[in-house]
């Protein structure tokens, strides 16, 4: 036993003895009570000195805290090696030794989740939030995991709790919680509430291109292509700033779709063409570019693009429908040639 641990435990003994001393005088004239009190105190002292814990009174010993933390470090090392079995085993031992450590329990939940044991991970976090009802981080993790497994109602509740318990300084945590709420409200069809939540999330993470992309998609659903276009463009600019040519495909498609909805077909075609050059095997891009060409009256090019899309996915219903539209437009053009 270390000197510090012995000192800590002897101090605990002293506290109990000190509390008991206030009753000593009263017990002097009550022999039976004095005898009982002496026996209890005599039994407590050896247990305290040997590191035993008294439920409801004493906390985990420093020795146990050290052991549990060592196990957590060993688990982190195993996790880095992708040895999830070892990491899980060590964290299970750490939680058993020190069940009052929120960091260890949340790490255990993370490894369980990574190991594919998602329901068990959620159960660990449920235990954690009961033990630490003011820890916003645990509520946020629980909200995100509930969202991933499809438990939307509980995810919404825990995201709200995370926001309530977070400090304004923890911007990352607050923006993640508002983002979860925004996504849930979007799925529920509550677009106005979702819009408000996205804007609150952006207050804490204004330079987040993924968040701006989700906001743009929401504007599309609300039939606001002009606002959607602004958000897509902001997201594209932020991706370019972080790394040139790093924009995901959805950025090009989103801007092109917004231009199409606004009747700006030339600009839409430019966006879809830029996307096609970067992702030459994506049938969605061929279809959207063909639709833009069709809207511009460039039927021959639209037909060529449709045929290229069919070569990639001959049974795709969307492509077959587009092929029929192109053929009808071509027939109409043949029957009614443009006047020169």
What confidence category does residue 30 fall into, taking pLDDT thresholds of 50, 70 and 90? low
- Is residue 145, in this structure, part of any structural domain at all? no
- Is residue 220, in this structure, part of any structural domain at all? no
How many C-beta atoms surround the C-beta of residue 336 within 10 A? 8
Q: In whole angstroms, how far apart are CA 7 and each of 10, 68, 150, 288?
A: 5, 21, 50, 75
Rounded Cα gap, residues 252 and 180, in angstroms: 25
- Is residue 169, in this structure, part of any structural domain at all? no
Crossing angle between the packed helical segments 283-295 and 265-278, to the nearest 10 degrees: 160
Give me the number of domains the chain comprises.
1
What confidence category does residue 3 fall into, taking pLDDT thresholds of 50, 70 and 90? very low
What is the reported pLDDT for 11? 46
Angle value at C-alpha 76, between 154 and 98, nearest 5 degrees: 65
- Residue 317: is its pLDDT beyond 80? yes
- Is residue 13, in this structure, part of any structural domain at all? yes
Domain hosting 46: range is 1-58
Q: What is the pLDDT of residues 244-285, one digit of tens each?
A: 888 999 999 999 999 999 999 999 999 999 999 999 999 999
Scored b (16 or more CB within 10 A) or e, 102-118 reads ebbbbbbbbbbbeeebb
DSSP 16-73: HHHHHHTTHHHHHT-HHHHHHHHHHHHHHHHHHHTT---TTT----HHHHHHHHHHHH
Alpha carbons within 13 A on the beta-carbon side of 273? 10
- N- to C-terminal Cα separation, the chain: 101
**Under 8 Å between Cβ of 211 and 179:** yes
Work out the burial of residue 46: count CB atoms within 10 Å of its CB; fewer than 13 is exposed, 13-18 middle, 19 or more buried: exposed
Supply the pTM of this predicted model: 0.76
Q: What is the pLDDT of residues 172-184, one digit of tens each?
A: 999 999 999 999 9
Rounded Cα gap, residues 65 and 75, in angstroms: 15
- Is residue 84, in this structure, part of any structural domain at all? no
- Is residue 5, in this structure, part of any structural domain at all? yes
- Is residue 42, in this structure, part of any structural domain at all? yes
- Is residue 22, in this structure, part of any structural domain at all? yes
- Residue 214: is its pLDDT beyond 60? yes
Rounded Cα gap, residues 319 and 308, in angstroms: 10
What is the reported pLDDT for 32? 52
Q: What is the pLDDT of residues 135-186, one digit of tens each?
A: 999 999 999 999 999 999 999 999 999 999 998 788 899 999 999 999 999 9
């Amino acid at each position: 036993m270390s000197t510090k641990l012995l000192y800590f435990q002897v101090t605990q003994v002293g506290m109990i003895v000190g509390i008991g001393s206030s009753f000593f005088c009263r017990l002097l004239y009550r022999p039976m009570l004095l005898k009982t009190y002496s026996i209890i105190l005599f039994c407590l002292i050896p247990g305290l000195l040997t590191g035993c814990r008294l439920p409801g009174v004493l906390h985990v010993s420093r020795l146990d805290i050290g052991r549990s933390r060592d196990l957590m470090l060993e688990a982190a090392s195993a996790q880095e090696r992708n040895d999830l079995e070892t990491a899980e085993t060590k964290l299970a031992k750490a939680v058993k030794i020190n069940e009052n450590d929120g960091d260890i329990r949340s790490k255990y939940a993370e490894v369980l989740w990574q190991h594919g044991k998602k329901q068990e991970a959620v159960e660990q976090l449920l235990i954690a939030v009961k033990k630490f009802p003011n820890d916003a981080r645990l509520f946020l993790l629980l909200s995100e995991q509930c969202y991933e497994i499809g438990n939307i109602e509980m995810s919404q509740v825990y995201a709200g709790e995370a926001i309530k318990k977070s400090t304004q300084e923890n911007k990352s945590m607050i923006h993640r919680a508002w983002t979860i709420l925004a996504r849930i409200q979007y799925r529920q069809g509550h677009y106005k509430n979702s819009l408000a939540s996205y804007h609150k999330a952006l207050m804490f993470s204004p330079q987040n291109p993924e968040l701006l992309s989700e906001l743009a998609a929401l504007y599309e659903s609300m039939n606001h292509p002009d606002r959607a276009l602004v958000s897509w463009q902001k997201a594209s600019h932020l991706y370019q700033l972080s790394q040139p040519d790093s924009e995901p495909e959805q950025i090009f498609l989103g801007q092109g779709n917004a231009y199409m909805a606004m009747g700006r077909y030339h600009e839409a075609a430019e966006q879809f063409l830029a996307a096609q050059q970067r992702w030459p095997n994506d049938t969605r891009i061929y279809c959207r570019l063909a639709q833009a060409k069709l809207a511009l009256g460039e039927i021959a090019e639209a037909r060529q693009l449709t045929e290229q899309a069919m070569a990639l996915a001959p049974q795709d219903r969307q492509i077959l429908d587009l092929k029929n539209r192109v053929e009808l437009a071509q027939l109409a053009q043949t029957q009614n040639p443009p006047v020169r």
